[in-house]
Structure 1
């Protein structure tokens, strides 16, 4: 068995504040440690369940948040900035499943910790073919293009609810109960890591896995920016990329990866 693990930071146990998420902020180093240890718990669960290969991607911000010296030796790690076209290096159709760990709800979700889609500084929301979509849905589609299903998602309770809506049959685990953008009812990280191991093991041992998420083209991606100046900085050709109002851009294409690269 081979598994790909994508790890974000907002949904990690103990993380609720902006200052925990940004390099250089006083609380960032503690959050890095929580992130690394939670990724290790998932890796350990997969290896104990019989995985022959585990690839773990640092999917938060710069892509360099794990503490290398503390990483579990049984996995391989993707770290550093990656181009949109190469969002998940090492991915191919031979993987049995994907786990999205520490993810967050899409932008605009009520009472969700650090809700956003791709960026909390530039965009209000995304729609794909008319439907709201967040990073859970986008990444699941990306893996689906390789025929690989998302089998497990963790994050706050709003994240888990979104995952269950977007990915029928997916297993989830809530690391916290969100009560606002910067507040939550928390479980102790040690408890979360122990429970997460059990939840991951149960998910990968299920005889029936969710189907890969697929969406046939053509595609229309709508980005609603926070401010007009962010749209001003974009190039719109009037055909594949169209500005429809002060803060909205619409991108069209037949190839989803090309479309995302153009839009992002």
Structure 2
């Protein structure tokens, strides 16, 4: 079996503040250790379930966070940026299962370090106009569109609930709350060793069951992505990309504020194009996350 692990940082065991997850922060180096340990727990679970290949994608910020020398030797690592597919780089239909480690809730949710990709610059996102989403929803939808089931996620309790909602009735994804949000920068923490045992167990059971479950059917249909930006300038510049249109705020329901953009395509193509959106937005705003 082949297992894919996408690893973010905000949802890692013990981390609650910007200084824990931002390069140069006073606790960032400690955060890297915690992130590596959570990922190693997931790798151990995948290997115990019979995975013959495990690919880990470091997806946070500059995507150079995991301690290479301390990573589990069974895993290969996708490191650095830019990556055309960002948080899902190197994921394809040959994988039997996908795992999300250290993920966080979307912008507007009262989860630990919640945001959607770019701190405060992205106010909200929708898939097909009616389903608000952040990184969890977009990554889950794209992975399943490729025919790869998401079998486990670790993060705060709000992030776990978000994935369960996306999975819907009949889903079998296992979620591991490693902390319980008390506010955006505060949480009750689960003991680290207990949290990592839970990650390992959830991944082991999720990967073990994957071959006996019905895989999601590859989705090549057209979907619509809408992104509402904090800055109308970003929306205006993105409208220069063929196929991208300004829709007004709130998924087209507030035409007085033209700072939302819409574009349609299949999900992998939308996921890749969204990476271009972020490149444009970073160039225009230069805003640090969590402001």
1:228 aligns with 2:232: yes
User: For residue 174 of structure 1, what is the aligned residue in structure 2?
Assistant: 177
Residues 136 and 215 of structure 1: is their aligned pair in 2 closer, same or farther, counting only changes over 3 Å? farther
DSSP-derived class of the 2:9 partner: coil
Is 2:196 the counterpart of 1:193?
A: yes
Is 2:127 the partner of 1:123?
no
**How far, CA to CA, are the matches of 2:235 and 2:86 in structure 1?**
25
Q: Confirm whether residue 206 of structure 1 aligns to residue 217 of structure 2.
A: no
Tell me: CA distance 1:247–1:155, structure 2 relative to 1, closer, same or farther (3 Å). Answer: farther
| Aligned-partner Cα distance in 2 for 1:86–1:66 | 16
The within-5 A match list for 1:29-178 is 29-85=29-85, 87-109=87-109, 111-130=110-129, 131-167=131-167, 168-178=171-181
Aligned length: 263
Query: Of 223, 239, 252, which aligns to 2:263?
Result: 252
Q: CA RMSD in A?
A: 2.2
Give me the TM-score of the superposition, normalised by structure 2: 0.83
Contact 1:57/1:79, CA 8 A, preserved across alignment: yes
Give the aligned partner of residue 26 of structure 1: 26
Q: Which has the higher helix share?
A: 2
TM-score normalised by L of structure 1: 0.90
Which residue does 1:241 correspond to in 2? Answer: 245
Distance, in Å, in 2 between the alignment partners of 1:201 and 1:148 is: 16
Structure 1 unpaired stretches of 5+:
none
Distance in 1 between residues matched to 2:198 and 2:175, nearest whole Å: 12
Cα distance in 1 for partners of 2:247, 2:262 equals 9
How far 1:215 sits from its partner (Å)? 5.6
Q: Can you give the 5+ residue segments of structure 2 that lack an aligned partner in the other structure?
A: 249-255, 278-291
Offset at 1:88?
3.1
* Cross-structure match for 1:16: 16
